[in-house]
Amino acid sequence: MTWWKEAVFYQIYPRSFNDSDGDGVGDIQGIVEKVDYIDGLGVDAVWLNPVYESPQVDYGYDVSDYQAIHDEYGTMEDWEELLDALHDRDIRLVMDLVANHTSDEHTWFLRSRDSDEEYEDYYIWREGEETEGEEGVEHVPPNNWESAFGGSAWKYDAGRGEHYLHLFHEKQPDLNWSNPDVRDEVVEVVDWWLEKGVDGFRMDVINLLSKPDDLPDGSPESDWVGSEHFVDGPKIHEYVGELHERAFEPHDAVTVAEMPDLTPDEAERYTDDGVDIVIPFEHMELDRGDAVDWYTTDVDLVELKQVFSRWQEADCWTCLYWSNHDQPRAVSRFGDEEYRVESAKMLATVSFTLRGTPFVYQGEEIGMTNPGFESFDEIRDTGTLERAKTAMADIGIKGFENVRDIVNYWTRDNARTPMQWNSDEGAGFSEEEPWIKLNSDYENVNVEAAREDDGSVLSYYRELVDARHENPVLVYGDYELLLEDHPEVYVYERSLSEGGDEEDAESDRMLVMVNFFDGEPRFSLPDSYDGTLDEVVVSSYGVADEADASTEFELRPYEARVYRVR
């Protein structure tokens, strides 16, 4: 039993949370101003997206100094004030560790590019072939790997006369983890922050650290060409285990590992390496369509239930989430904007009642939706722009209007519009033009309005946080899926035996039922539930708190209920 299993995390994307100094960009003092709000949610920990010095090409995931705070966000003193303010309220702070790559403006890279002896091997440099092309000499990359943002994962550097690897933007060169000096540097950085009082790290794309020395070509059919070589690469468990032993374990720090393409089997191995919480992606990729590798298809609930069930049974501890700064807004994607409140509550019910640790992404607790972008000029995310550019060139289309729906469905900017605090112009986020457009629904969807409404998504989140804190069965209980083939409802039981496994052991049981769609599905529970549903613990439609004698149910659109089972 540990704190991070029992905790609820709140994720803050600092750029879009609250602007204290009127430059249209969120900042650390802005978060300090809202610490009582965060405390009021009842959450136990904050995961803060990167606030380190950075050219902000990938909004902080391109770090140019791991031990300094980015100017727009404030100073180290501001950060210390935030840490104290959170700790004063018993809220832990988890920072983001971006260790697969740095910015190309980091001094390590600048020196590596200059072939400075000490830094020469800090990054992954390789010679490529040269060919004579129409426009003179062309540099052919060392292999066919692709960047997650589209295009080759290699960039030729004329100064050094070699290509460097970048699995993300070309301004995010990959560090060379096979160099022990690089590993020492990262341990030092982590240690430095933990000494300052940080409680743990969310580790960015941490399963991509190890690349095979011979850098073989990847299958051209793959969704991400090269990934079979760099996802869970040859020495990954050695590196992750070493980080754990040298950096995290001495401080008893929590680690939350972001790992694309993670399977439950690999997750178990990472857990053996010392990782605490894994972030699976499988449930977020069921709507991946074929067309230009973007996300387009409807989610099949039966398949989604299978995915969740597989992870529930795996020997690891997962982060439970429907949204974060890289994903569209959950209500728009998995729920229904027509039933905004109902579907936001339904999704939250699932997150808070599965086995794992719920992560709430800022704005989710008020049911924020995708804003709808009208042109590429409104898009701020380099990842979206790069991917769209590459995909459009591949299939030979031009113009935003031809990709409007798909971009609006998928872009990460959906999650990055400013937090909606009130109905003032600027939604209480900033008095200036924000760095990214506001969702036009802010006059109705905002914290102030939600606070005054008992039926709001926000009030419901408060109930869920309490339910989670008060019922160990929701944290530690076993999971059993019911009605696995029902296409519209997700029903499962959580049960926790107390007092050992003897016959007289007391068992705490809860039954969760949610309607994932806008219909009114009927279903019956197995006969064994006859007369056992004792009390309604949480109900999104405010069902009376009384026993339900029947086993026949009909749920309203997106309705969610949690019963205590006798």
Q: By CB under 6 A, name the binding residues for ligand NOJ.
A: 58, 61, 98, 168, 204-205, 258, 325-326, 383
Distance of alpha carbon 98 from alpha carbon 357, whole angstroms: 22
Q: How far is the CB of 242 from ligand NOJ (least distance, A)?
A: 21
> 258, 287, 413, 548: which one is catalytic?
258
Q: How far is the CB of 412 from ligand NOJ (least distance, A)?
A: 7
Q: How far is the CB of 158 from ligand NOJ (least distance, A)?
A: 25
Q: Which is nearer to ligand NOJ, 166 or 437 (CB)?
A: 166
Q: Which is nearer to ligand NOJ, 206 or 225 (CB)?
A: 206
The answer to whether the CB of 564 falls within 8 A of the CB of 534 is yes
545 Cβ neighbours under 8 A, 6+ residues apart:
535, 536, 539
The continuous run of DSSP H or E covering 255 comes out as strand 254-258
Residue 117 CB neighbour total at 10 angstroms: 7
Distance of alpha carbon 489 from alpha carbon 480, whole angstroms: 14
Q: Which is nearer to ligand NOJ, 9 or 563 (CB)?
A: 9
Q: How far is the CB of 100 from ligand NOJ (least distance, A)?
A: 7
The answer to whether the CB of 78 falls within 8 A of the CB of 21 is no
Tell me if residue 470 falls in helix, strand or coil: helix
Q: Which is nearer to ligand NOJ, 345 or 416 (CB)?
A: 416
Distance of alpha carbon 104 from alpha carbon 173, whole angstroms: 6
Question: Strand 45-48 and strand 92-97: pairing?
Answer: parallel
Q: Which is nearer to ligand NOJ, 35 or 186 (CB)?
A: 186
Q: How far is the CB of 31 from ligand NOJ (least distance, A)?
A: 18
What is the separation of C-alpha 220 from the centre of its chain, rounded to a whole number of angstroms?
A: 28
* β-pair partners for 523: 553
Q: How far is the CB of 49 from ligand NOJ (least distance, A)?
A: 8
Q: Which is nearer to ligand NOJ, 106 or 494 (CB)?
A: 106
**104 noted as active-site residue:** no
Which amino acid, residue 276?
D
Question: Strand 136-140 and strand 52-53: pairing?
Answer: unpaired
Computed on alpha carbons and rounded to an integer, the radius of gyration of the chain in Å comes to 24
Distance of alpha carbon 496 from alpha carbon 263, whole angstroms: 26
Residue 233 CB neighbour total at 10 angstroms: 19
**204 noted as active-site residue:** yes
Q: How far is the CB of 180 from ligand NOJ (least distance, A)?
A: 23
Q: End-to-end CA distance of the chain, in Å?
A: 25
> 19, 62, 204, 413: which one is catalytic?
204
Q: Which is nearer to ligand NOJ, 325 or 333 (CB)?
A: 325
Token duo for residue 344: 């936001």
Position with the least CB separation from ligand NOJ: 61
Any idea which residues carry the catalytic annotation?
204, 258
